[in-house]
Amino acid sequence: MGQQSDARASVTCAVVAQKGGVGKTTTLLGIAGAAWERGLKVLVVDLDPQANATAALDPASIHYTTNDVLADARPGIAADAIVASGWGLGVELVPSERALEHRAVPEGRDSTLRLRIALEGVVDQYDLVLVDCPPSLGELTRNALAAVRLALVVTEPSFFALPGAAAALEAIEVVRGSNNLVLRAAGVVVNRSRPKTTEHAFRLTELQAAYPGLVLPFTIPERTAVQQAQGACVPVQAWHSAGAADAADVYDVLLDVILARGAETVADLGLSSTTTFSTGTDT
Q: What is the pLDDT of residues 147-166, one digit of tens each?
A: 999 999 999 888 788 888 99
* DSSP assignment of 4-37: PP---SPEEEEEE-SSSSS-HHHHHHHHHHHHHH
Q: In what order do the strands lie in the sheet with 215-221?
A: 83-84, 91-94, 42-46, 128-132, 11-16, 150-155, 184-193, 215-221
Output the CA angle 253-258-261, nearest 5 degrees: 120
**What whole-number distance in Å separates Cα of residue 273 and Cα of residue 279?**
14
- CATH number listed for the domain at residues 11-267: 3.40.50.300
Res. 283 pLDDT band, cuts 50 70 90: very low
Output the CA angle 157-250-181, nearest 5 degrees: 75
**What whole-number distance in Å separates Cα of residue 256 and Cα of residue 217?**
13
Among 194, 192, 200, which Cα is nearest to 17's? 192
Res. 265 pLDDT band, cuts 50 70 90: low
* Cβ proximity of 122 and 79 under 8 Å: yes
- Check whether 2 has a pLDDT greater than 70: no
Res. 86 pLDDT band, cuts 50 70 90: very high
pLDDT, averaged across the chain: 88
The residue length of the chain stands at: 283
Res. 79 pLDDT band, cuts 50 70 90: very high
Res. 195 pLDDT band, cuts 50 70 90: low
* Cβ proximity of 234 and 190 under 8 Å: no
* Cβ proximity of 67 and 102 under 8 Å: yes
**What whole-number distance in Å separates Cα of residue 100 and Cα of residue 66?**
7
- Annotated domain spans of the chain: 11-267
**What whole-number distance in Å separates Cα of residue 100 and Cα of residue 23?**
20
**What whole-number distance in Å separates Cα of residue 184 and Cα of residue 178?**
13
**What whole-number distance in Å separates Cα of residue 279 and Cα of residue 283?**
8
Beta-bridge partners for 45: 94, 131
**What whole-number distance in Å separates Cα of residue 35 and Cα of residue 41?**
8
Q: Which of 103-107, 205-209, 278-282: highest mean pLDDT?
A: 205-209
Write the DSSP symbol of residue 100: G
Q: What is the pLDDT of residue 118?
A: 97
